[in-house]
Structure 1
Amino acid sequence: MAVSDIEPARVMTLRLQELLQRAAKVKKSTSVDPPLQISELTGENELLLGNTVEDKDMHKSIIERAARNIFYDILAVTPIHHPSFVQIWNLLDILQYCGDRDQCYPGLVLLLVEELLDSQSIGGCRTVFDFLESRREVLIATNSKNKDLVILRSCNELLRRLSRAEDAVFCGRVYIFLFQSFPLGDKSSVNLRGEFHVENVTTFEDFPRTSDQVEDRMDVESDRKDEVINEAEGAKSDEDALKSSSTPDPTAQQDLKTLDIDTLYPIFWSLQHAFSNPIRLFDEEYFGQFKKGLEATLAKFKEVPKVIQATSPEGKRGLKRKLDDGYDEFASTFNPKYLTSRDLFKLELSDLEFQRHILVQSLILLDFLLSLTEKLKKKVVAQKALQFNFTLGDQDAEWASGIKNSIANYLQEGLDGKFYYRMVDTVLSRDKNWVRWKLENCQPIIRDRVSIKDILGAKIGAQKAYGSKKTRSKSMGLDFKFLSDNETASSIEKLKNPDRYIIPQAESFARDVTGIDLDLEMATTEEEKENLGDAKASKTWRALRISSRDKLSLFDRVEDSKSLESLFQPETVDEATGEESALTAADSRDAIPQEHDRPEGNKRPEQRSQVMETAAE
């Protein structure tokens, strides 16, 4: 450092120390929250850190040097949970305020936070992350482009230190902070090359069991003998037990297909190789082994009894080490890394959480395979890095769809099975959209804001379209003067004709249908037949509509338009059986009574009055 730079740096250090002393009086709390009120430290027009030199870049460098000196001095002697550590939070708030106003480097506060995370344990990192979460909106409000790289680097480094088994909730907080800090369509967290996590290697015992295998078989045989004795004691008689054992059981035949635990052990754990690197399935021989292994695993899951892990009354699991006060560890987020010991394999197979973990991995891999069918590959034009030469055949696609449905049905079993599968299916469905967005080279998904001019124009247009309208002189642009002309006055009288508004008889439409049938037999052209068919359908529908008022119970006689006249056939009483019967369709036309053949009960009122007068005379 030059001699000329020593005095400005010393002045800036004293200035920052003075501001920290004022901050201690303004902020009485010793915790991360609430943030420091910077407006109470200085006046309205006063610069917080002043101007020590004329060169602006040199002034920012001096502020950074002074801030780091104070930061390291406090950090070296003060633990993070000590009340005096509040000076670090106040210093970061001051630097954040100055960075937004271009008095220092905008990313200086995040650089100091990154070093603070590196210097703390996992418990201390939780406290530092409380600071980041409470100031997130302020940190990314201005000059966010200069801070993105620091945020991404510090969060990724923190995730490498955390254990996904013991710090699952903390990992979730870090991911949520990243999602909220970066735009939705940002490419920083996208795996553009489609690289798989091949470093996640699962090691297991690939050698067969020798000495313990005999003892396990002896234990299994003794357990089976005990089960047979218990069944015999509960049976009514020995003969009934023999009869029941002699009958074939379809479930027993299905159990014979499942592999024993020792045989399934290497097959089961070898599935993890395909989960970490799905490209291996492009080999036909390896794909055949994977299919057999997945089918055997699902069959074994269905066979073994289910064991649900119990939780404490508070809904928390008992952890080996006590966590800090105020740290909440939910039972549903406890995600241990499963061990591959052969001795624990039998217990793991019965664990419902373990089964769901494996089956969800299978669903993810099956969705990847189904996206490589010939039909789906034509729909999406992927970038070169994500284009695979492999195409899933029709037979393999049918198998993948079938095993996927079987897994889905199995996950829905149990008390909370429906809810669990709906959650998994929702996540996988949304993940398909992200995969397609990545295949299409991450096109922009954020639209520009609508301008105020367009918004006002849309409002005015909506008001004009749905506002109150005055009565127009002409209705719909039609001129009705022709109704008042003397020549057309008779047309108004025609509208008063009773035939225009009196409902006709249904029998008239039935007779019209009969006439149309005769015309259809004589029709020669296709156009004439089509017109007559439309007229027949119209007449038939009108006849049925009118008849539905008083003859709805007779509609079961109507099979098609040819038997329409059966609705108007008079009902007769069979003297032998005493039941009502209708005339046949052949006699339907002759059975319709004419006016002079009607009996007295069926004659019109005027005809009935004439008959009564004649009888009175």
Structure 2
Amino acid sequence: MSPLLFSLQEARNKFMNATREAVASKNTKQLLTAFSQVAGSENEKKLTLDQVFRGVLEEEIINQASCDNCLAIISLAINGVTEGICTATTPFVLLGDVLDCLPLDHCDRIFTFVEKNVGTWKANTFYSAGKNYLLRMCNDLLRRLSKSQNTVFCGRIQLFLARLFPLSEKSGLNLQSQFNLENVTVFNVNESESTLGQKQVEDRDDGMEIEEGEMGDDEVPNNSSSIPIDYNLYRKFWSLQDFFRNPVQCYDKSSWKTFLKFSEEVLAVFKSYKLDDTQASRKKIEELKSGGEHVYFAKFLTSEKLMDLQLSDSNFRRHILLQYLILFQYLKGQVKFKSSNYVLLDEQSLWIEDTTKNVHQLLRETPPDGEKFSKMVEHILNTEENWNSWKNEGCPSFVKERQQDNKPQKVARKRPAPEDFLGKGSNKKLLMGNDELTRLWNLCPDNIEACKLESREFMPTLEQFFEEAIEQADPENMVENEYKVVNNSNYGWRALRLLARRSPHFFQPTNQQFRSLPEYLENMVIKLAKELPTPKLHKLKIRPPSEEIKTGEDEDEDDEDNESLLKENNESPEVQQQNPVSGELIEALANKLGEHWKTLAPYLEIKDSDMKVIESDSEDVKMRAKLLLIAWQDREGARATTENLISALNQAHLNELAEILASDAENCTQI
């Protein structure tokens, strides 16, 4: 037998009757039974049931039935998705139909149902299929609502979207930090049409003259008439809204001057005319605390007649002061997509810091609960700073993935993209994580070129650095060796670095061995004195310290060969006076030293490892002493002199041996 063919009309009739029964009984059992009895593929039956749901909902809306029936149909659709008898998008399509057709009063109840089922919408079965439907539905509903009269409803929709979508959803982050430039505040810009300053006198029994703007309801505070209001204050006050709308104007010099002037005058008015917790304001506070009607938040009313009332209203004043804090946070903050040209000057930063403190003080002085309100605002702005930092880092996920098998896994380091630390635009700005470091680093577009400027040249010339050393090397100046600058270790270290950068002699090979850095520098000073072009240096008659004063003919011979000068310089009387230690002297001293060889070893700079080798080579203390002296002699070479050995004995408190060795170093048998 061939399978039964699907009949659309038959399926619609069965599903229609089953749906009406299910709505009445609030049970999906009839729908499941009808779905199983209808012939055809599952896809055909699902699409048919989707149409039936919309048809039944349409009848309920046309008959102006209660919202309960509409919600019952939507609940059936949700259960149908769970049971697998209709598509996952059906509940969202039904919600969109209801909210599009019902008035706003009924939409409030429908949206309450949407809020309560946010957990259902976030389930895997519904989220991917319905997130775009819900977003479109909420945006359509927001367009129907008034931002001034339906403030609470609008806020509920925004909170629902925040709960529905994950925190990293790009569509709700404003990653490029764009401003709503369409939010323009319109006010009277024609002074000739202004009514401020014109007195309208009315005849009253008490003969009082009342200025326009003073007449108000019984809610007007007593000090409202004390605020002097003219057209200039009115114009400057409302002109500030353009800076709050588009903060980047503050980076322009002329616009900043305008903003600075207007702000100082407006804040001076707030500071001079503080609000008191009067009887009228207390009455308004009690009404709000009693849980009355929703507060009406209007777009700014810029009528000149309301200016004195607005300045005397605590909510209005808090609104303006909070706008200042938000603006200052943007100007000081590090925003990833902010242009590299948007940098505050030092004087601007100082003014913003001082004004921020004044604004917080005004908030604390504004009733009711000024101190509490100021702390709350400060906490919210600190949270906003963390939010901005998270966006600047590329919105990393807050979800940490679990490691499998409890084994630490190596996380591959992601190479940072250039846009993570570079600004946008032609002049890319390097973000250093701190405002001051960022300003200093970006002073010059090309830091390599900035380092090549003449002002960055701190290395002295050879003439400047060695001038004092050349003068001291002249025998006619009779400067003793211990006072020469070449003997200063700091001077020698800087001299070597300078010679390596500016003198070719530093790299010339030579067979001459220098025993100390001062000797090498003395030789270099002699060479430089002959080559430097400064006339003052040519007048100096440089001779090696050990050389006797010669005639002019002999001086010419010295200029021929510089290596001969080095050789003569090394054969100074000081070097010749040092006597090398002979083998006989080592033998005699080892016999006398004996068991004290360990006492002398540290002062001869013998390592512990070498001492262990000496102990392992022989058990005789005299032989160990001899091996110690031989090891010292091999290491020091030409510096293994009698004078150095006497110095080591004195440091080891072996004074008797030192005196005998010093009295007659040549006659070793006396030891």
TM-score when normalising by structure 1: 0.56
AA aligned to 1:315 is E
- Among 91, 103, 106, which residue is 1:109 paired with? 91
Structure 1 residue 42 displacement after superposition = 5.6
User: Residues 78 and 401 (structure 1 numbering): CA distance in 2 closer, same or farther, change over 3 Å?
Assistant: same
**Aligned CA distance change for structure 1 residues 218 and 22 (closer, same or farther; 3 Å):** closer
TM-aligned CA deviation for residue 259 of structure 1: 7.7
Q: Is contact 2:197-2:230 (8 Å) kept?
A: no
Residue from 302, 312, 315 that aligns with 2:287: 315
Report the residue type matching 1:15 in the other structure: F
User: Aligned partners of 1:437, 1:49: CA distance in 2, in Å?
Assistant: 50
| Alpha-carbon displacement from aligned partner over 1:425-463 (angstroms, at most 9, x marks no partner) | 1111111221222222222122235768589xxxxxxxx
1:587 equivalent in structure 2? none
Question: Could you say if the C-alpha distance between residues 168 and 317 of structure 1 is closer, same or farther in structure 2, counting changes exceeding 3 Å?
Answer: farther
Q: How far did 1:288 drift?
A: 1.1
What is the CA distance between 1:268 and its match in structure 2?
Answer: 0.8
What is residue 64 of structure 1 aligned with on the other side? 50
Tell me the amino acid that sits aligned with residue 392 of structure 1.
L
Q: 2:310 aligns with which of 338, 348, 360?
A: 348
> C-alpha distance in 1, partners of 2:177/2:395?
13
> Do the aligned partners of 1:316 and 1:329 also contact (CA within 8 Å) in 2?
yes
1:435 and 1:330 mapped to 2: Cα distance? 35
Alignment-derived partner of residue 375 in structure 2: 422
Q: Once the 2 structures are TM-superposed, how far is the Cα of residue 293 of structure 1 from its aligned partner?
A: 1.1
1:151 equivalenced with 2:134 (yes/no): yes
Q: Is the 2:108–2:153 contact (alpha carbons within 8 Å) kept by the matching residues of 1?
A: yes
Q: Which amino acid is the alignment partner of residue 24 of structure 2? A: A
Alignment partner for residue 158 of structure 2, among 170, 175, 193?
A: 175
Instruction: Name which of 187, 196, 201 aligns with 2:179.
Output: 196
1:433 aligned residue (386, 394, 398): 386
Aligned to 2:621: none
Aligned equivalent of 1:162, options 135, 138, 145: 145
Aligned partner of residue 86 in structure 1, secondary structure: helix
C-alpha distance in structure 1 between counterparts of 2:274 and 2:209, whole Å: 15
For residue 125 of structure 1, the aligned residue among 107, 113, 137 is 107
User: Residues 432 and 5 of structure 1: is their aligned pair in 2 closer, same or farther, counting only changes over 3 Å?
Assistant: farther
> Distance in 1 between the 2:352 and 2:246 partners?
17
C-alpha contact (below 8 Å) 1:196/1:277 kept by paired residues? yes
TM superposition shift of 1:57: 3.4
Relative distance call for 1:182 and 1:395 in structure 2 (3 A) is same
Closer, same or farther in 2 for the Cα pair 1:214/1:297, shift >3 Å? Answer: closer
Within-5 A mapping of 1:390-539: 390-413=342-365, 414-449=367-402
Q: Give the corresponding residue for 1:137.
A: 119
Give distance in 1, aligned partners of 2:208 and 2:386: 51
What secondary structure sits across from 1:306 in the alignment?
Answer: coil
2:390, 2:379 → 1: CA distance?
17
Matched, 1:283 2:283: no
CA offsets 1:329-383 (integer angstroms, 9 cap, x no match): 665x542223001111121111111110011011100100011xxxx57xxxx3x
- CA deviation digits over 1:486-536, x for unaligned, max 9? xxxxxxxxxxxxxxxxxxxxxxxxxxxxxxxxxxxxxxxxxxxxxxxxxxx
1:76 aligns with 2:58: no
Q: 1:199 offset after TM fit, Å?
A: 0.7
Are the aligned partners of 2:390 and 2:396 in contact in 1 as well (CA < 8 Å)? yes
Which of 255, 271, 287 aligns to 2:240? It is 271
Q: 1:299 to 1:173 in 2, by over 3 A?
A: same
Deviations 1:107-132 (A, max 9, x none): 21112111211112211110111221
The alignment yields a C-alpha RMSD, in angstroms, of 3.5
Please list the CA deviations of residues 392-438 of structure 1 after superposition, one character each: whole Å capped at 9, or x if unmatched: 11111111111111101110114511110111111111112212222
Contact 1:185 1:444 in 2 (8 A): yes
CA distance, structure 1, for counterparts of residue 177 and residue 194 of structure 2: 45
Separation in 2 of the partners of 1:389 and 1:17? 69
Distance change in 2, residues 1:317/1:204 (3 Å):
farther
Max radius of gyration: which structure? Answer: 2
- Residues matched between the structures, number: 382
How far, CA to CA, are the matches of 2:259 and 2:194 in structure 1? Answer: 29
- What secondary structure sits across from 1:338 in the alignment? coil
User: C-alpha separation between the residues in 1 aligned to 2:182 and 2:269?
Assistant: 28
Residue 388 of structure 1: how far off its partner (Å):
4.5
Structure 2 runs not aligned, ≥5 long: 211-225, 409-671
User: For residues 26-76 of structure 1, what are the alpha-carbon distances to aligned partners after superposition, in whole Å with 9 as ceiling and x for unaligned?
Assistant: 5xxxxxxxxxx65xx369xx5673374544433332222222222212211
Deviation at 1:197, TM superposition (A): 0.4
Range 301-310 or range 387-396, more displaced: 301-310
Distance in 2 of aligned mates of 1:218 and 1:302: 30
Using the TM superposition, give the Cα deviation of residue 6 of structure 1 relative to its aligned residue in structure 2, in angstroms: 8.7
- Cα contact 1:185–1:446 (8 A) shared by 2: no
Deviation of residue 263 (structure 1)? 1.1
Q: Kindly report which structure 2 residues correspond to 1:232-311, keeping only aligned pairs within 5 A, or say none.
A: 260-306=229-275, 309=281
> d(CA) in 2 for partners of 1:109 and 1:446?
29
Ranges in structure 1 where 5+ consecutive residues have no aligned partner: 27-36, 226-255, 319-327, 456-617
Identity of aligned residues (%): 26
- Change in CA separation of 1:93 and 1:313 when aligned onto 2, cut-off 3 Å: same
Mark the CA change 1:129 to 1:10 in structure 2 (over 3 Å): closer, same or farther: farther
CA contact (8 A) 1:274 1:281 kept: yes
Q: Distance in 2 between matches of 1:133 and 1:54?
A: 37
- Matching residue within 77, 80, 84 for 1:95: 77
Alignment correspondent of 1:246: none
Q: Is the 8 A contact 1:168 1:334 kept in 2?
A: yes
Q: How far off is 1:10 after superposition?
A: 4.2
Greater RCO structure (CA 8 Å; 6+ sep): 1
Distance 1:78 1:208, change over 3 A: same
SS at match of 2:46: helix
1:212-245 superposed Cα distances (whole Å, 9 cap, x missing partner): 45544999xx9999xxxxxxxxxxxxxxxxxxxx
Cα distance in 1 between the residues matched to 2:5 and 2:310: 66
Cα distance 1:438–1:387, how it changes in 2: closer, same or farther (>3 A)? farther
Change in 2 beyond 3 A, CA 1:78/1:436: same
Q: What is residue 338 of structure 1 aligned with on the other side? A: 300
Provide the rounded CA distance (Å) in 2 between the counterparts of 1:301 and 1:420. 17
Structure 1: how far apart are the matches of 2:370 and 2:275? 13
Alpha-carbon distance in structure 1 between the residues aligned to 2:10 and 2:112: 32
| Alignment check: 8 A CA contact 2:187 2:303 kept | yes
Query: 2: CA distance between counterparts of 1:426 and 1:9?
Result: 63
